[in-house]
Amino acid sequence: MKKEAKIIGLTGTNGAGKGEAAAFFKKKGYVYFSLSDLLREELQKKGKQVTRDNLIEIGNNLRKKFSPDILAKRVMKKIKGRAVIDSIRNPGEIEYLKKQKNFILLSLDAPVELRYERVKKRGRDESATTLQEFIEKEANEMTKQEKRQQLQNCMKLVDYSVINDGTLENLHKKLEKLL
């Protein structure tokens, strides 16, 4: 990275390895935050089940009610030093985070079949039981609507991109090169 990243943001497709990248940066001394964790907290407050569909819905509802950057604003209130922020899914979040000192945005992606296999192994409720459902669910995250998820647009705004189509060791080597 050209400058010392105080805050590393992670965006990318489902199952691409954002969580693994976050774990890598945690080992390097970054404190972990996830915008999805903010959404999980909201769902728990409302007594709703934590499913992928519910996470998407509540995130979009918060963006509509407040602003597209609401999750970024909320997470920045918690950050005191070096941090890695996972699950960035809206350009408004990126716009806000890029105003922070020494922010770097990294995207992760991988072939859809490989991501689907990874997601199945995670054991979370992903609301997709087939590859086709997984692809259709992902289309819901690729909108161009200001107050919804816009993964494709987010991935166009990154400072660095990583294709995670190999082993975990291979991913770590790619991330190490960025540092």
Which tens digit of pLDDT belongs to each residue from 69-114? Answer: 999 999 999 999 999 999 999 999 999 999 998 999 999 999 999 9
Instruction: With CA atoms as reference, report the closest residue to 14 among 168, 155, 148.
Output: 155
CATH architecture assigned to 7-178: 3-Layer(aba) Sandwich (3.40)
pTM of the model: 0.88
pLDDT tens column, 19-70:
999 999 999 999 999 999 999 999 999 999 998 889 989 998 999 999 999 9
* Residue 159 tokens, joined: 């400072």
Q: Distances from the Cα of 102 to the Cαs of 65, 79, 109, 124, 147, in angstroms?
A: 29, 13, 23, 33, 26
- What are the extents of the domains in the chain? 7-178
